[in-house]
Structures are given as structure tokens and as C-alpha cells.
């Protein structure tokens, strides 16, 4: 029986995903040799994406701790190296109004403020560490597909502006076509600032190189296969060696090895998201949909699509992924995604697709991210569950884990006041967690049905 939730094809750590990002990876690379010895350090980080690297970077830069990062693949092998590259507001699925009802106005405002800060953090890291991340655009454009959809979007944008102090504005159908792009589905939309697009693999590679420069020791191809306790130390074993550490940070998000620690079991719902990228288009081809923005865009429906124009004229289009991650189910899913691309932008239906790939995003039962320490072992910290919006949220969460680790008292009930409440602590387990994929498919089926009538 597989140790993982999805088909084993989703966890081939020795194979880079065949993405456009891998094909255009930059020259910034950490040394990151595999672990081949038995080592000791202050903090061991499991997972080399934005969360783990941001935690390691901040622990080394600001607190000069001895940190090692163990990554099963290459740095950025996971979602951090294969996402859509939207650095945008999000990270949760509750929505602003539900958040205010559940957690109160001040906490909801604090959450969205943290999202804006998180975008600024990514921008600062890019500038301070001279990361060649190919930044593009200055807002996120959300397209409505029906009159009811536009009315809903307008209401939520007005609420976010008035109550949550977010920088949102409403755009009519004509203005939308004039300023951004057009599609037969387009019924107006909204814009949200701040947001920009980047090359996500270059950002994670740059972050890895910066963490290494600040003193973190990085080990690629070093999957943690066993985790034991030896007195006050954790002992993490890989195929080639081991690390003894006083504290551990779990930063594996959608690729979490639930078999490694019983506390992880059933706490998250990884969901596959897929992307296709076209060949470069000419200016005349782009004009067929009046495309005139470098800003990232989404179709604002429940099962959303996300898309953006890339610096070389290629077009990236992403959406829901396959049911189980096997090669055959992924192939069927890419066909569906391309059909949705053609439906949204029919004048580009003859444009060839050059790249297709997928990866895991991570949901929690309470529909907000999770930052905390294990209740039965406060020397283990975690951060996960960014609901498909981790470029800023994971980078920011890694920094918060570092801050908590150095400033906390060691008492599990001692929670930092600077963290918005809805992000703190381990989320509840999904009920009947072994059936997570079954009810995920049922939920997607239901959403598809709802969408058909809106």
C-alpha cells in the first residue's frame, strides 16, 4: 500500500516536473549537496520550498542559528517551483465576510494586513537578495462570467474595500475589455492590489541561495525517511546520513509525509492543480483577445481558472487538477483544462500547448493556514495550508515560524499576539481522513453542477 495519499507518480522526488519554469530556470543555484554524514544543529527544517527556506533564511540572517534544511528533491521541487507565480492576496477559503463573522473584525483586518505585508516581504527579498525573478504586473484582475457573478464580485470587492481596507475596485464590462482583455465569457470584474507575477522557481532558487549565503546548510536529494527521539534531540534520518537537532520545522505543505509523524495524519487536504503553457504568441495573436496586461488574472468562479501572459509572449493557464495524480488521469485532466482554455479564449484555440504540469496545493478543514507547534512536543514547529496562495503566504509564514521559535517560551499555550488568530495552531483532522479523495471528488462534482447554473 502506498505511503502517500495520491498516486506514487506525484512523489517522484528524483524527477523535476516538466514545467516551463524548469526550462527557464535561472543561474542562481544553492550548492545543496545531499546529506552523507551524521550531523548536529540547532534547527532542522524538513522541506525546501518557500516555507522552509524563508524560516531558515530568517533564523540565520536575524539570529545566527545553526540550521540545516533537508529537501527530498531539488530545492523548489515541490509547489514552490511549479506554481502559477501569482504573488497575490489570498491564502484562505473562508472569504472576508465569514472571517469577520467567525473571528471578529479586528482579526479579519489583521489577516488581510498580513497578506499585504507578505507581498511586501516577497518584494523586499527579491530586491535585497537580488533575485532574478522576472516580476510582472501590478494588480490581480478577476473576471466575472455572468451578471450574477459580477454582482457577487462587486459586493465582495466593496465589502473588502470598505470593511477590510483592501485596495479593490470594480470594473465594468467595457472598461475591462479596454484595459485588460476580452473573452466571450467576460461580464466585467474587479482588480485587487497589491499583486504581481514572478517566475516562481527562480524566486525559490534565489531564496535558497540567499539562505545558504546567510549560513544555512542545505541538502538536496535528502528525503527524511525516519524521525526518532534521542533524549532532548530529534534524529532525522535520510538514506545517506542523519541530523540531530533540538528543534524541527515541518515545511512540507501539500507534499507532507503523513507517515512520518502521527500528529500530521489527516490534518490537511492536498489538492492537485494543473497548468498548461502555450508557445509564444505574436502581438497580432494577443490582439485577438485585446490582451494588454502583464498582471495575473483569474476567472472568478468556484472552480477558478488562473492565467497570465509570460514575458516571452507565452500564455499560462491553470486550474483544477486530476483526481488521483496517475499519468492516465493527469492526461485526461490536461485535455479538460485545454478545453476550458479554448472556451475562455476561443480565438487562441489553434495555439499549440508546449508545457503541461501539475502539483499539490494544500487545504485545511478550517479553511485558513496553520502556523504552530505540536501540542505534545513544542520543539516541533509547522506551517502549511495556504489554499493555493503560498508565494506570499508561505514566505511570510516561514518568517513567522522563525520569529516564534526564537522568541517563544516553550509553553505550547504561549501563542504570539502578532499572529492573526485564524492561522494559529493545528487544524482539526478531516473526518474519515482515508476517504479525503472521495469526498474531494464529490465536492468538485457538486461545484461543477452549481457553476453550470450561474
Ligand X SMILES: Cc1cc2nc3c(=O)[nH]c(=O)nc-3n(C[C@H](O)[C@H](O)[C@H](O)COP(=O)(O)OP(=O)(O)OC[C@H]3O[C@@H](n4cnc5c(N)ncnc54)[C@H](O)[C@@H]3O)c2cc1C
Asked if 192 interacts with ligand X (CB under 6 A), we say no
The contact pattern for ligand X, residues 218-247, with x = CB under 6 A and - = no contact, is -----xx-----------------------
Residue with smaller CB distance to ligand X, 50 or 150: 50
Three-state secondary structure call for residue 180: coil
Stretch that binds ligand X, among 20-28, 148-156, 208-216, 251-259 (CB under 6 A): 251-259
CB 398 within 8 A of CB 204: no
206: contact with ligand X by CB under 6 A: no
- For the CB of residue 398, give the shortest distance to ligand X in the complex, in Å: 7
* Shortest Å, Cβ 433 to ligand X: 18
Contacts with ligand X: how many residues (CB under 6 A)? 43
In the complex, minimum distance from the CB of residue 296 to ligand X, in angstroms, rounded to a whole number = 7
Four-CA torsion 384, 387, 392, 394, nearest 10 degrees: 10
49, 189, 194, 325: residue in contact with ligand X (rule CB under 6 A): 49
Footprint (CB under 6 A) of ligand X, residues 320-359 = 358-359
Question: Which of residues 45 and 108 has its CB atom nearest to ligand X in the complex?
Answer: 45
Query: Does the protein bind ligand X through residue 295 (CB under 6 A)?
Result: no
Residue entry with cell 500530521: 264
Q: Establish if 253 lies at the interface with ligand X (CB under 6 A).
A: yes
How far apart (Å, rounded) are the C-alpha atoms in residues 82 and 359? Answer: 7
Give the Å distances, CA to CA, from 127 to 24, 131, 132, 207, 416. Answer: 20, 7, 9, 11, 28
CB-count burial class (<10 Å; 0-12, 13-18, 19+) for 449: exposed
Q: Which of 6, 57, 77, 382 binds ligand X (CB under 6 A)?
A: 77
Helices (H), 192-248: 200-213
Q: Check binding of 394 to ligand X (CB under 6 A).
A: yes
> What is the spatial distance between Cα 371 and Cα 384, in angstroms, rounded to a whole number?
7
Q: What are phi and psi of 10, to 5 degrees?
A: -80, -10
**Structural contact between residues 122 and 178, judged by C-beta atoms closer than 8 angstroms:** no
Q: Per CB under 6 A, which of residues 264..293 are in contact with ligand X?
A: 273, 275
Residue 297 binds ligand X, judged by CB under 6 A: no
Candidate segments 45-53, 55-63, 166-174, 240-248, binder of ligand X by CB under 6 A: 45-53
User: How far is Cα 9 from Cα 345, in angstroms, rounded to an integer?
Assistant: 31
- Which residue of 5, 72, 264, 330 would you call a contact of ligand X, by CB under 6 A? 72
Grid coordinates standing for 293? 496586461
CB 258 within 8 Å of CB 430 = no
Alpha helices in 24-91 (DSSP H): 50-63
String of DSSP letters for 332-377: HHHHHHHHHHHHHSGGGTTSPEEEEEEEEEEEETTSS-EEEEETTE
369 lines the binding site for ligand X (CB under 6 A): no
Region binding ligand X by CB under 6 A among candidate stretches 2-10, 65-73, 338-346, 399-407: 65-73
Residue 80 or 183 with smaller CB distance to ligand X: 80
- Binding to ligand X by CB under 6 A, coded x per residue (else -) over 172-191, reads --------------------
| Span near ligand X by CB under 6 A; candidates 166-174, 175-183, 279-287, 386-394 | 386-394
Among 180, 196, 386, 404, binds ligand X (CB under 6 A): 386
Contact (CB, 8 A) for 117 and 125? no
Site for ligand X (CB under 6 A): which residue of 189, 318, 325, 369?
318
Residue 80 and residue 78: Cα distance in Å, rounded? 5
Query: Nearest residue by C-beta to ligand X?
Result: 390
Chain contacts with ligand X (rule: CB under 6 A): 13, 46-52, 70-73, 77-80, 82-86, 223-224, 251-255, 257, 260, 273, 275, 318, 358-361, 386, 388-391, 394
Amino acid at each position: 500500500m502506498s505511503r502517500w495519499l495520491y498516486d506514487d507518480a506525484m512523489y517522484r522526488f528524483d524527477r523535476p516536473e516538466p514545467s516551463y519554469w524548469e526550462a527557464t530556470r535561472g543561474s542562481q543555484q544553492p550548492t545543496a549537496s545531499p546529506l552523507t554524514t551524521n550531523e548536529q544543529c540547532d534547527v532542522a527544517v524538513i522541506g525546501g520550498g518557500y516555507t522552509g527556506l524563508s524560516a531558515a533564511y530568517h533564523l540565520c540572517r536575524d539570529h545566527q542559528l545553526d540550521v540545516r534544511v533537508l529537501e527530498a528533491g531539488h530545492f523548489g521541487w515541490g509547489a514552490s517551483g511549479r506554481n502559477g507565480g501569482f504573488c497575490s492576496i489570498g491564502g484562505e477559503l473562508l472569504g472576508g465576510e465569514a472571517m469577520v463573522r467567525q473571528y471578529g473584525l479586528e482579526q479579519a483586518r489583521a489577516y488581510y494586513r498580513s497578506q499585504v505585508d507578505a507581498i511586501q516581504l516577497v518584494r523586499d527579498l527579491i530586491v535585497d537578495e537580488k533575485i532574478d525573478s522576472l516580476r510582472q504586473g501590478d494588480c490581480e484582475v478577476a473576471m466575472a462570467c455572468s451578471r450574477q457573478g459580477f454582482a457577487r464580485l462587486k459586493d465582495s470587492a466593496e465589502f473588502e474595500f470598505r470593511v477590510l481596507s483592501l485596495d479593490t475596485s470594480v470594473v465594468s464590462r467595457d472598461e475591462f475589455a479596454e484595459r485588460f482583455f476580452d473573452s466571450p465569457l467576460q461580464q466585467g470584474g474587479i482588480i485587487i492590489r497589491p499583486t504581481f507575477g514572478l517566475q516562481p522557481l527562480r524566486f525559490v532558487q534565489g531564496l535558497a541561495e540567499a539562505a545558504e549565503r546567510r549560513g544555512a546548510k542545505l541538502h538536496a536529494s535528502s528525503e527524511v525517511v525516519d524521525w526518532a527521539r534521542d533524549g532532548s534531540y530529534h534524529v532525522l534520518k535520510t538514506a545517506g546520513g542523519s541530523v540531530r537537532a533540538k528543534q524541527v520545522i515541518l515545511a512540507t505543505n501539500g507534499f507532507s509525509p503523513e507517515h512520518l509523524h502521527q500528529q500530521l495524519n489527516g490534518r490537511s487536504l492536498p489538492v492537485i492543480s494543473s497548468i498548461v503553457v502555450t508557445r509564444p504568441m505574436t502581438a497580432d495573436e494577443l490582439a485577438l483577445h485585446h490582451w494588454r496586461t502583464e498582471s495575473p488574472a483569474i476567472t472568478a468562479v468556484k472552480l477558478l481558472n488562473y492565467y497570465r501572459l509570460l514575458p516571452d509572449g507565452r500564455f499560462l493557464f491553470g486550474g483544477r487538477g486530476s483526481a488521483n495524480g496517475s499519468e492516465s488521469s493527469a492526461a485526461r485532466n490536461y485535455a479538460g483544462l485545454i478545453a476550458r482554455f479554448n472556451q475562455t479564449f476561443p480565438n487562441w484555440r489553434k495555439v499549440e500547448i508546449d508545457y503541461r504540469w501539475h502539483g499539490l496545493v494544500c487545504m485545511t478543514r478550517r479553511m485558513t493556514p496553520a502556523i504552530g507547534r505540536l501540542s505534545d512536543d513544542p520543539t516541533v514547529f509547522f506551517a502549511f495550508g495556504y489554499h493555493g496562495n503560498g508565494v506570499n503566504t508561505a514566505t511570510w509564514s516561514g518568517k513567522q515560524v522563525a520569529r516564534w521559535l526564537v522568541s517563544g517560551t516553550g509553553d505550547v499555550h504561549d501563542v504570539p499576539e502578532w499572529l492573526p488568530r485564524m492561522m494559529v495552531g493545528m487544524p482539526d483532522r478531516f473526518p474519515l481522513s482515508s476517504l479525503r479523495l472521495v469526498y474531494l471528488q464529490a465536492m468538485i462534482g457538486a461545484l461543477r453542477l452549481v457553476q453550470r447554473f450561474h
